[in-house]
Structure 1
Amino acid sequence: MSEQYWLGAHDGVTFTPSGNNLAYTEYSDTVPTAMSDHSRTMNPGVFEIKGKNVYQIFGYALSAMTVIVGDDGVILIDPPEDVEKGRRMRVELEKITSKPTVAIVYSHWHTDHYAGVKAFASQAQVDAGEVQIIAHRDFMDNVIANSISGDGAILTARADYSLGTLLEVGPEGRVNGGIGPDFIMETMSLLAPTVHVDDRLEHTVAGVRMVHFWAPSEAIDEIVTWLPDLGILQSAEVIQGESFPNLHTIRGSRYRDPQAWFRSIDRHLRPLPAEFMIPSHGRPLAGKAEIAKVLRDYRDAISYVYDQTLRHMNKGLLPDDLVDRVSLPETLARSEWLGNFYGGVPHSVREIYVGELGWFDGDPTTLAPINATEASRRYIELIGGRDKVVAAADKAAAAGDHQWAAELLRHVVRVDPTDQPARIGKAEALRAIGYTTPNSNWRTWYLTAARELDGTIDYSMAINIDAPDQIAALPGAAMLEGLRFRIDPAKAADVELAAGFHITDTAETVGLIIRNGVVEPTTEIPHDAVFVASLPKLAVMGMIFQELYEGLKAAVDANHAVLDNGSLEDAENFFSNFDHHSAEKLTLSAQ
């Protein structure tokens, strides 16, 4: 490609385009110009760092995969979000080299950095020691906590809204993924790590010397990879593409400490004499001076937003006022690495307030507020009734004040979620707002919420965190421990029961003890277990993702499980204290 498509210095990189851009690149009245321009930075192809045997396969997924060709094998960093995209990347990989893959690095636990791994390696190859899987020591714990055990269900529902997976690509749907052209997950896979990084790990694979640093930032288990003999830094998602960093993700996450983030840049990235930087999102950057400036500006942007938010918090400002007060200075705002395409200053400011002080704003009126639905009912009555609220919203929308229209109609929909005219009015207001923002997370949430409200939503492309191949790689004990979040204290009132499980093919032992409306998992069989089952992990999966008792009974009836003591009636009584499995989709916008 004759025109430079990478960033920074003119020399040292080549780009070979291949295929069509997965993002929406046209200009439209429903897409901000800046957003369409941003899509045009995502043409797929292969970047080569000349003379280094290092490549980036770019534009085929939300993430971009780094390829390092060693003496007798290939090292990959960050496979894409699903096997289908991985297979498309593999076509490009095989144009680069015929050497076998010998190591795969997961920079962190988010699915777009590992879930396509089985396009490049198999469990048999890992078991045989032919392929190393390298990740932070906490990688698997984080995958478990955010899938089968913890808040995986709500996070997945919110991810569909944030990432736009329920929208089509086009002027009225997804435009791009903010830090990549698109995000749709089909077949997810997982190979558990075999090499663990603590704070730092230096080793040589296929003749390539690598140093991995733990760099908490966008994820708590983030690792960056430095190739000292090549002068190349793989910056993972510490540098989060060509966008302001997602200091908080609106889909939901634990607090991402901005100070830890910019200090990771200061401690682990800035001291390195990198000649080239390859991020996991976004195009490569060439040139020592150019890399130094980007790293400096990126850490300064994070520090600025954090420091100024704290400065004004210390003056007593609340989140709404902080959002009005804190914005990037022009010297940073004009950086091509800090656009409002994925992360955003306004929602970062709000999260910093909550992360540092918690939800309480200092006004005791908010300590025990009237229930939101009841408050909405009273507001509607005060205004003069439902029709007057809707009329006021219509007037606001006609004047272009779509935010006020949506806020008014929220009260009506909250009180009566079946009020279709109000739902449609709110949907139209949200859609109008969504069409004006270049931030991909905001846009897709507005537009997905609009479709939920007006009934045009399509759940067929919803993310499935219970993907069989991924779950099969997780410990069986973690699946059973996840039942903590399904215990119904109303059913379990005054119940004290215990059960035990021997997971035969993985040699795991799990006890579950019910008392006081909680479940305590143990690594031993409780002495008073009312039943003990011996079963393979596949049967545990059948229980967890169907009905608990029915899944166990089916395994027993098929001779896949046996009861070492107790009866099926005992098991049925034990499992009656838990929520039923539900495949019903969560709704988020009529609340």
Structure 2
Amino acid sequence: MSEILARSAHYIDNGVYEGAGLINRPTTELSEVGDGVALIEAFSHVVALKSGDGLVLFDTSLDAFAGGVLTSLRKWSDEPVTHICYTHGHADHVGGTGAILCEACDKGHTRPQVVAHENVSPRFRRYELTNGYNFTINARQFAPASELKMGGGGNGNAGGTPQPRRFGPDPWVDPDTTFRDAMTLRAGDLTFQLNHAIGETDDHLWAWIPEHKAICSGDFVTWVFPNAGNPQKVQRYPLEWAKALRDMAAKEPELLLPAHGLPIEGKARIATVLDTIATALETLVHQALEMMNNGARFDDVLHNVKLPGHFIDKPYLKPVYDEPEFILHNVWRLYGGWYDGNPSRLKPAPDAMLAQEIVALAGGVAPVIARAQALAQTGEDADMRLACHLVEAAALAEPDNRDAHVARAQIYGARRKAELSLMSKGIFGWAERESTKKAGDS
């Protein structure tokens, strides 16, 4: 058993968690995990299989990682790449394709065929339409290393000339071959049964390779709590995600190759992981739907649906990226629309106007700031949530008030440090830096 598979088995079998850094390791190092099967650890992994007629790749990681990926791949095999399969169209899964195509051209190899679900190209067009928005939200989510991780230039260069903000590779490499529900790809001696399923995205595929009894799962398995609730991204599908995991389990795989985290070996071990992740998602959805069907507002759902702790205790379900609370937002949006049941928010007043009214009722901005600081000092989650509401109101009511921004930076900074998920840390950190700058400029 390779080191990476042994590490995976140790964590799963013994319930050991030693931190995200030992599970998701963007080193571009290659590990052979089967006869002719390799996994290259990058921002998103690249899975490579020797087909007897060249190499078949699943995903290509970010463009910033493409050089390291190719170096490791070529130490393992000098065979040409014949096919690239996108598990889905996120930038960290497709960004390196251009470099691989250039390598094929430089070596005089036939251009690799790119295979994906039919919704991948429409996704790329949507990214082009919303380039600035996606650059901004990814800078917020992944700050301060967003330029490296999301590809593209920053806001300037060494000469001081402003550069356009670019989200994703330039250009996006569209698939040559697409499918809708399922497709069988034959390459050399290997069969790849490509299956469409929705979960994190609407353009996702997972692959069954019967000759290796292996599954390429893409982002359906990521060794963090499923990214089914990202607060800044489009709709996710948690119940359908669970179904995909159960469909994978029905194949009784002996090797599971995810796009993030560690590969998993062993039929029983894989079955347990897939079932546990699926059950966690189903539990959240069914609890939320029960409350919705009984007439609850979203506020009731958000603060009363809880996932049992034995799920979060698993080393492959830690909420260090997304978290269960955020998934409830997507459940409500999917089944109930955007109205949350509070009639005051159907056609609300501007945030700043409401904040000014709160400050006026409190007798000025100073007592609002003082109350926010007092709540934040307890460190309790409920108090921290309320403190954020109050300090946000203070800053909105008087946007040039230095004291308000000093307090806002302090409170969001404390909130950031207390959070586990990258998404929460990113958004609270963004607010902290925003007010730190405004307090310094005042």
Fold-level similarity (TM above 0.5): yes
Q: Residue 9 of structure 1 contacts residue 287 of structure 1 at CA under 8 Å; is this kept in 2?
A: no
Instruction: State the match for 2:68 in structure 1.
Output: 88
Instruction: State the match for 1:572 in structure 2.
Output: none
Q: Residue 113 of structure 2 contacts residue 176 of structure 2 at CA under 8 Å; is this kept in 1?
A: yes
Instruction: State the match for 2:206 in structure 1.
Output: 224
Instruction: State the match for 1:336 in structure 2.
Output: 315
Q: Residue 211 of structure 1 contacts residue 226 of structure 1 at CA under 8 Å; is this kept in 2?
A: yes
Read off the aligned partner of 2:321 and give its amino acid letter: Y
Change (3 A) 1:260 1:42: closer
Task: Give 1:125 deviation, angstroms.
Answer: 4.4
Instruction: State the match for 1:249 in structure 2.
Output: 230
Q: Residue 162 of structure 1 contacts residue 250 of structure 1 at CA under 8 Å; is this kept in 2?
A: no
Question: Tell me, what secondary structure is at the counterpart of 2:128?
Answer: coil
> Which one is further off, 158-167 or 404-413?
158-167
Aligned: 1:57 with 2:40:
yes
Task: Give 1:315 deviation, angstroms.
Answer: 2.9
CA–CA distance in structure 1, aligned partners of residues 131 and 246 of structure 2: 32
Instruction: State the match for 1:7 in structure 2.
Output: 8
Instruction: State the match for 2:149 in structure 1.
Output: 183
Read off the aligned partner of 1:185 and give its amino acid letter: G
* Number of corresponding residues: 412
Query: Which of 438, 449, 458 does residue 431 from structure 2 map onto?
Result: 449
Q: Residue 80 of structure 2 contacts residue 104 of structure 2 at CA under 8 Å; is this kept in 1?
A: no
Unmatched tracts of structure 1, length 5 or more: 11-33, 169-181, 458-591
Change (3 A) 1:344 1:399: closer
Aligned: 1:305 with 2:314:
no
Read off the aligned partner of 1:46 and give its amino acid letter: L
Task: Give 1:325 deviation, angstroms.
Answer: 2.1
Percent of matched pairs sharing the same residue: 22
Instruction: State the match for 2:111 in structure 1.
Output: 130
Instruction: State the match for 1:112 in structure 2.
Output: 92
Instruction: State the match for 1:379 in structure 2.
Output: 358
Instruction: State the match for 2:417 in structure 1.
Output: 435
CA–CA distance in structure 1, aligned partners of residues 146 and 94 of structure 2: 23
Change (3 A) 1:385 1:36: farther
Aligned: 1:46 with 2:27:
no
Q: How does 1:463-478 map to 2 (within 5 A)?
A: none
Choose 1 or 2 for highest CA Rg: 1
CA–CA distance in structure 2, aligned partners of residues 398 and 335 of structure 1: 31
Read off the aligned partner of 1:134 and give its amino acid letter: V
Instruction: State the match for 2:189 in structure 1.
Output: 207
CA–CA distance in structure 2, aligned partners of residues 445 and 362 of structure 1: 25
Aligned: 1:163 with 2:142:
yes
Task: Give 1:196 deviation, angstroms.
Answer: 1.1
Task: Give 1:449 deviation, angstroms.
Answer: 2.2
Task: Give 1:141 deviation, angstroms.
Answer: 0.8
Instruction: State the match for 1:264 in structure 2.
Output: 244
Task: Give 1:441 deviation, angstroms.
Answer: 1.4
Task: Give 1:248 deviation, angstroms.
Answer: 1.7
When the two structures are superposed, what TM-score results if normalisation uses the length of structure 1?
A: 0.65
Task: Give 1:375 deviation, angstroms.
Answer: 1.2
Read off the aligned partner of 2:60 and give its amino acid letter: P
CA–CA distance in structure 1, aligned partners of residues 435 and 291 of structure 2: 37
Change (3 A) 1:165 1:456: farther
Task: Give 1:224 deviation, angstroms.
Answer: 0.9
Task: Give 1:9 deviation, angstroms.
Answer: 8.2
- Deviation string 1:503-560 (CA, Å, 9 cap, x unpaired) is xxxxxxxxxxxxxxxxxxxxxxxxxxxxxxxxxxxxxxxxxxxxxxxxxxxxxxxxxx
Question: Tell me, what secondary structure is at the counterpart of 1:455?
Answer: helix
Aligned: 1:233 with 2:223:
no
Q: Residue 199 of structure 1 contacts residue 213 of structure 1 at CA under 8 Å; is this kept in 2?
A: yes
Read off the aligned partner of 1:201 and give its amino acid letter: M
Q: Whose helix proportion is higher, 1 or 2?
A: 2
Instruction: State the match for 1:369 in structure 2.
Output: 348
Instruction: State the match for 1:319 in structure 2.
Output: 298
- Deviation string 1:283-321 (CA, Å, 9 cap, x unpaired) is 100001111111111111111100011112223333333
Question: Tell me, what secondary structure is at the counterpart of 1:301?
Answer: helix
CA–CA distance in structure 1, aligned partners of residues 365 and 6 of structure 2: 55
CA–CA distance in structure 2, aligned partners of residues 142 and 162 of structure 1: 20
- Deviation string 1:144-185 (CA, Å, 9 cap, x unpaired) is 11x222x443233122112224579xxxxxxxxxxxxx8352
Change (3 A) 1:386 1:122: same
Read off the aligned partner of 1:449 and give its amino acid letter: A
Aligned: 1:140 with 2:121:
yes
CA–CA distance in structure 2, aligned partners of residues 367 and 87 of structure 1: 50
Instruction: State the match for 1:410 in structure 2.
Output: 392
CA–CA distance in structure 1, aligned partners of residues 393 and 17 of structure 2: 32
How well do the aligned residues superpose, as a CA RMSD in angstroms?
A: 2.7
Task: Give 1:249 deviation, angstroms.
Answer: 1.0
Question: Tell me, what secondary structure is at the counterpart of 2:149?
Answer: coil
Q: Residue 265 of structure 1 contacts residue 299 of structure 1 at CA under 8 Å; is this kept in 2?
A: yes
Q: Residue 161 of structure 1 contacts residue 251 of structure 1 at CA under 8 Å; is this kept in 2?
A: no
CA–CA distance in structure 1, aligned partners of residues 136 and 183 of structure 2: 36
